Structure 1
Amino acid sequence: MRILLAPDSFKEAASAEAIAQAMARGVMYGNPQAECRLLPLSDGGEGLTQALVHATGGTLRDVETVDAIGRPITAQYGFLGNNHASCNLHTAVVELASASGLERVSPADRNALTASTFGTGLLIRAAIDAGADRIVLGLGGSATTDGGTGLARALGFRFLDSAGHDIPLGGGVLADLERIDDSEVPDFVKNVPIVLACDVTNPLTGSEGAAHVFAPQKGATTTQVERLDRGLANLAHAIMQYSGRDIEHTPGSGAAGGTGGGMLGLFNASIRPGIELVLDLAHGRESCAWADVVITGEGSIDSQTPYGKAPSGIAKLAQSQGTPTIAIGGTVTRDSRTIEALNKAGIVATFGIAPGPADLATLIAGTERNVEITCAAIASTLRITAATSPCESA
């Protein structure tokens, strides 16, 4: 039996690569004759760089940069290898979460008004200086609501107030923005193609926008949410004056604290669903056609999973190749509406990995072992089913 192991990361517990390896150990225990292929995934957030570098035989690079609150850190970006569809381009992969991610900053240190994407801009600049002529930027997991202005500032843009002074970093001061100056931005930086990998369709502003939906997760109070939303609206106005681009209501412009909108308004950027991009570059269609069954997973299999998340993305692709998909998760929602949506996406069965009642810290610590045990049981069941099916016994 050929089994494709294609999970996303289990957030705050294990990377997609680690989960895929744990799946493989479990499958081999449950069915030593099974043939496994590992395809760690990302929908644009944490793990995008690792997933694409793994899939294409690329390389990782370390860069000295800063986190969302300005502390020095070392973060990574990657270059795709020759095993991808755009081998004529030197493509770098940067995930915003690597430098400017929420998991980089403890809850006590988070500051929704001053958090900045500047460190991600330093990663992109390092990639361009190293020869990148295309950037894939994963939008997800950010600690920021600055509309991507910190990132743009690291690449040479200036954001000026009415007196012509640079406004401070962070989304809390965007309401003071009067004018955008690109006189210090090299043309090759302005023109390099940037593909934004995104798993949300939220607009920049309003009740479904970056501030109202995502900023509370980053420590923003109700008053701060309103301030950030006003700032992003003013940024949209300034971008309209600068480039003539109306980014305020564009789907995906609210991703990563409005970084999606800032990139679309200031750079040669386009946006794509993250999981579609990953599956294209990682030859997902061929892998699904090869497999007899796909096992995928993420931290929580819930009502959001069927809509742009990695498990539904791989399941839909597998379904188009006639291959069924099984999903596992740290938690699994089993209301009828969610089950129906998962089935429609091609996920034929779901399994929770929790072995029984336990506190969250214990469950997180045991994630990889619990993945192994669950996949061993799945593989054993698939082996028994195949051995006793009419076509096998005929």
Structure 2
Amino acid sequence: MRILLAPDSFKEAASAEAIAQAMARGIKRGNPQAECWLLPLSDGGEGLTQALVHATAGTLHDVETVDAVGRPIIAQFGFLGNKHTSCTAVVELASASGLEQVSPADRDPMAASTFGTGLLIRAAIDAGADRIVLGLGGSATTDGGTGLAHAFGFRFLDAHDSDIPLGGGALVDLARIDDSRVSDSIKNVPIVLACDVTNPLTGPEGAAHVFAPQKGATATQVELLDQGLANLARAIMQYNGRDIEHTPGAGAAGGTGGGMLGLFNATVKPGIELVLNLAHGREACAWADVVITGEGSIDSQTPYGKVPSGIAKLAQSQGKPTIAIGGTVTRDPHTVEALNETGIIATFGIAPGPADLTTLIANTERNVEITCAAIASTLRITAATSPCESA
């Protein structure tokens, strides 16, 4: 039996690669004769760089940069190894400007900036990248990508032609954008934004109202950040005529999607579709008899643009069934029906029984292994007892 192991990370517990390895150990315990193809995935957020570098036999590169509040850190970008994409670099915004990089006590939703991500992309271009895949997700910022753009020489000026400070809170004072220090070659580098949300830049469903509270913003700060992003949209319209305020995906990563679409040669693609294409997901599904996927929580969001549903749809198109596992698994009938429609025929929770969250997180890889051993044993028994066609 050929089994494709294609999980996302289990957030705050284990990376997609670690989960795939745990799955493989479990499969071998349950069916030593099974063949496994490990394809750790990402929907564009955390784990994107590792997933694509792993899938294409690419390379990782360390860069000195800063986090969302300006502290020095080491972050990574990757070069893809596929011969057709050897000059494509992949960058996760979360790697430098992510929420998990900053403790709750140090978070500053008004001053947090994507400047560090800009330094990371600039390092990739300096190293020879002629195309960037940027994963939008997990940000600590609501600056509309202005910090990132600042790293390339864009200036954001107030009514007195003075530079405004970094961070989304300063955008209420933005009057105009100056690009006199930005080379045309930088502005023309193709940037593909891997994005799993469709939120607009502003308004009730925009970046500030939906995501900023998760980053520590108060109700008053949310309103100011939303005003700042609207101000950025007006400044971009004045700068080059691009209308990005209501574009789906513009609100991703604290409005970085909108800033990138407004200031750079950027396009948006659903994260899981982009990853599956670059990681040769179709070929992997064609090889497999069954797919096992998973993420931290199999819930009402899973059928819509997440890794399990993305790989399941691709497998379903080739007549291959998918099984999903998760740290928690919903049994809501509507969600189960939606999962079935994507091609997920069964879901399994990995928790062995009642336990506190800290213990469950610490034992994630072990529980994944045990669950997959049971699945493999069941698949082996099912295959052995299936009736053969008569001659």
Pair in the same fold by TM > 0.5:
yes
In 1, Cα distance between the equivalents of 2:13 and 2:388?
40
Shift of residue 393, structure 1, vs aligned partner: 9.5
Are the equivalent residues in 2 in contact too, given 1:387–1:393 (CA < 8 A)? Answer: no
Give me the whole-angstrom Cα distance separating, in 1, the residues matched to 2:7 and 2:67: 27
Given residue 270 of structure 1, which amino acid in structure 2 is its aligned partner?
Answer: T
What is the CA deviation profile of residues 273-310 of structure 1, one whole-angstrom value per residue up to 9, with x for unaligned ones?
00000000111001101100000000000000000011
Give, in whole Å, the separation in 2 of the partners of 1:125 and 1:267. 13
Matching residue of 2:50 = 50
1:153 equivalent in structure 2? 150
CA contact (8 A) 1:386 1:392 kept: no
Q: What is the 5 A alignment of 1:277-316?
A: 277-316=274-313
1:134 equivalenced with 2:134 (yes/no): no
What residue number does 2:316 align with? 319
Corresponding residue number in structure 2 for 1:259: 256
Q: TM (normalized to structure 1)?
A: 0.98
SS of residue matched to 1:391: coil
What does 1:154-303 align with in structure 2 at a 5 Å threshold?
A: 154-303=151-300
SS in 2 for 1:235: helix
Alignment match, 1:101: 98
Letter in 1 for 2:334: R
2:344 aligned partner? 347
Amino acid aligned to 1:70 = G
Please give the secondary structure, in 2, of the residue aligned with 1:330: strand
SS at match of 1:390: coil
1:31 aligned residue = 31
Equivalent-residue separation in structure 2 for 1:242 and 1:325 (angstroms): 48
Distance 2:388 2:333 in 1: 32
What amino acid sits opposite 1:170 in the alignment? Answer: G
- After TM superposition, the structure 1 = structure 2 runs for residues 371-386 of structure 1, keeping only pairs within 5 Å, are 371-386=368-383
The offset of 1:187, in angstroms, is: 1.4
Instruction: State the SS of the aligned residue for 1:252.
Output: coil
Q: Give 1:243 shift.
A: 1.4
* Equivalences, count: 391
- The one-letter code of the counterpart of 2:37 is R
4+ aligned runs moved over 2 Å, structure 1: 391-394
Task: State the distance in 2 between where 1:309 and 1:155 align.
Answer: 32
Aligned to 1:368: 365
- Aligned-pair RMSD on alpha carbons? 1.0
Task: Give me the whole-angstrom Cα distance separating, in 2, the residues matched to 1:155 and 1:29.
Answer: 51
Q: Is contact 1:101–1:143 with CA below 8 Å preserved after alignment?
A: yes
**Which amino acid letter does the alignment assign opposite residue 142 of structure 1?**
S
Partner of 1:14: 14
Query: How far apart are the structure 2 equivalents of 1:386 and 1:380?
Result: 10
Tell me the CA shift for residue 173 of structure 1.
1.1
Rounded to whole Å, the distance in 2 between the matches of 1:390 and 1:115 is 62
> In structure 1, how many angstroms separate the alpha carbons of the residues matched to 2:121 and 2:196?
20
Structure 1: distance between partners of 2:113 and 2:389: 59
Aligned-partner residue type, residue 8 of structure 2: D
Secondary structure, counterpart of 2:63 in structure 1? strand
1:342 to partner: Cα distance:
0.3
Gapped regions of structure 2 (runs ≥ 5): none
Structure 1 match to 2:333: 336
Q: What is the CA–CA distance in structure 2 between the aligned matches of 1:46 and 1:61, rounded to whole Å?
A: 17
In 1, the alpha carbon distance for the partners of 2:388 and 2:348 equals 27
* TM-score normalized by the length of structure 2: 0.99
- Report the 3-state secondary structure (helix = DSSP H, G, I; strand = E; otherwise coil) of the residue aligned with 1:215: helix
CA deviation profile, 1:194-243 (whole Å, cap 9, x unmatched): 00000000000111110111111101111111111110000000011111
Match of 2:3 in 1: 3
Contact residue 5 and residue 296 of structure 1 kept, 8 A: yes
Q: Alignment partner of 1:196: what SS?
A: strand
C-alpha separation in 2, matches of 1:220 and 1:346? 39
- Per the TM alignment, residue 82 of structure 1 is displaced from its structure 2 partner at its CA by 2.5
User: Take 1:56 and 1:392, find their aligned partners in 2: how far apart are those partners?
Assistant: 40
1:356 corresponds in structure 2 to: 353
Mark the runs of 5 or more structure 1 residues left unpaired by the alignment. none
Report if the CA contact (8 A) 1:191-1:267 is conserved: yes
1:391 Cα offset (Å): 2.7
Write out per-residue CA displacement over residues 304-343 of structure 1, whole angstroms, 9 at most, x where no aligned residue: 0000011100000000010000000011111000000000
Q: Residue 90 of structure 1 corresponds to which residue in structure 2? A: 87
Corresponding residue SS for 2:388: helix
Aligned partner of residue 68 in structure 1, secondary structure = coil
Paired with 2:240 and 2:57, the residues of 1 have a C-alpha distance of 38
Q: Aligned AA for 2:251?
A: G
**What is the identity, as a one-letter code, of the residue corresponding to 2:70?**
G
Measured after TM superposition, the shift of residue 392 of structure 1 is 7.8
For 1:141 and 1:353, how far apart are their aligned partners in 2?
Answer: 24
**Structure 2: how far apart are the matches of 1:244 and 1:230?**
19
Q: Which amino acid aligns with 2:7?
A: P
